[in-house]
Structure 1
């Protein structure tokens, strides 16, 4: 349950109106929780971050969202406070607010994803700084071996899968090429999991907080790698998708950093049980179908 004090802080600072029902816990992601607020002025999604959030970064992603919305991309409207801030710092977390969107249970089609990404890449929003290491730097052989050794020593049930994937993970890192600054622009950087069908029958793109500098073709390659057998339909909808192995650099870097992040979290006894369980689930999922050099070549063959 959200405390009355925190709920009042949100409704007052964002001018949402009085709650008509208590806040409802709606969802949990890796970086935060989402609450549904029903008030006299409407229905709102209140995001409670579990990681540090800088106001300047939040302002930057909201500016990108407005640019995307102006170009016709479907997304929930971000809400600013009555004194024009994006975030509010609560006792234990940073909060921000969006208009609420009712979602349908059916997933977005691969062609929908490709088409939406093409429309998003047509929004030439300037990047705020260079591409961060999470999206550009490989983990490296030393870090991979250290991670595998630690997992094996801890008796983690996913350690054998990590050990089996290790040669491919190390080989993948050799494919990573630094970003070309001239091609970098602001991208969403967290598709396809955040494209959903709405209850009204359309599509909506959620969770723009991770948006930032990236090369569009590398975001496309990451999407196609994630879709597997459905990738050709997404590529056809995107149009003119001519990719090379180096275009998977972002997908490779993100996979490596995610595996390390989830492994460290799963092995940390100080983490809450819920966090460790979620991390183990994500590790099992990624290691069941990791991106590999052979997988990249096969995917490129299907697109040629």
Structure 2
């Protein structure tokens, strides 16, 4: 079921109070998803993006970590859409009917296909993010680094999913033989080697302006990660689409990252831990949603789409070895 969003006039009134705006405030509906919507706001001669989401708001510590990294990244030359606090200093404010609101700069951007994105530009972007990031050995608010990024699902958890009779069972079964080799690459994160990282730099979260500048969006997953592991994940997120692995682009990205002073390196199998663990955890989550009789039809349909892609892009042990070989003399 699609959530109920506030009206433009209601939101305009709420924003006037929260931000102290006077005069004309226009709120126009934008893209809507399963859990929220982005509105285009015009006030005081400026344009903003208002994110409205239904559900529990992010913790204050998580928001503080996101804002800190965004500001550091912007100072290092990374293009971001700045998050704006209200008059009380809050970056997240309550909306209507259990929703919450967050205001950003409006940036005119468009998606970019990996094949059209300069690999060197991506390498420079990640190097600047990592060079500007503070050391960070715990999740925002405390706690060890999230197991999502360094613990693969137990191998025994996959077999029951393969006997459900769903359309994807044969494809999942075909990948099971490789899972032990993939999971061998996954080792615990070393908090002493972690920086505050974006952790979700796939092609939907790095967009492009008309000028050609790359813009990083959706900082909701900021937290600790080893920079080499995020680097390895970025390479596969952008340049490995199933069997098609652009090793030349991967090498160019890696070389540009090092030339720009990025601190991470991909030199051993465990450097793919974040890639493998995140891909497998996401796939298992979507499989469970697709089989959940209590999930809405829309969420199950969305999970089916995600499963199709997740099975296609799940890396193979051979591809990890090819990447290590390609990077071996770029140090």
Q: TM-score, normalised by structure 1?
A: 0.89
Equivalent residue number for residue 219 of structure 1: 230
Equivalent residue number for residue 201 of structure 1: 212
Looking at secondary structure, tell me which structure has more helix per residue.
1
**Helix, strand or coil for the counterpart of 1:115?**
helix
**Paired residues for 1:176-255 under 5 Å:** 176-193=186-203, 194-226=205-237, 227-228=239-240, 229=246, 230-239=249-258, 241-255=265-279
For residues 49 and 298 of structure 1, what CA distance do their matches in structure 2 show?
Answer: 41
**Paired residues for 1:101-180 under 5 Å:** 101-107=107-113, 108-127=117-136, 128-129=138-139, 130-146=144-160, 148-149=161-162, 152-153=163-164, 155-180=165-190
Stretches of structure 2 lacking an aligned partner (at least 5 in a row)? 241-245, 260-264
Q: 2:38 aligns with which of 34, 40, 59?
A: 34
The superposition leaves residues 198-252 of structure 1 with CA deviations (integer Å, 9 ceiling, x where unpaired) of: 1233221111111110000000011112222131221121127442110000111
RMSD: 2.2
1:297 aligns with 2:321: yes
8 A Cα contact 1:221 1:243, kept in partner? no
Bigger CA drift: 83-92 or 126-135?
Answer: 126-135
Equivalent residue number for residue 267 of structure 1: 291
User: Against the structure 1 CA distance between its residues 209 and 15, is the aligned structure 2 distance closer, same or farther, given a 3 Å change threshold?
Assistant: farther
* 1:27, distance to aligned residue in structure 2 (A): 5.1
8 A Cα contact 1:45 1:100, kept in partner? yes
For residues 230 and 266 of structure 2, what CA distance do their matches in structure 1 show?
Answer: 13
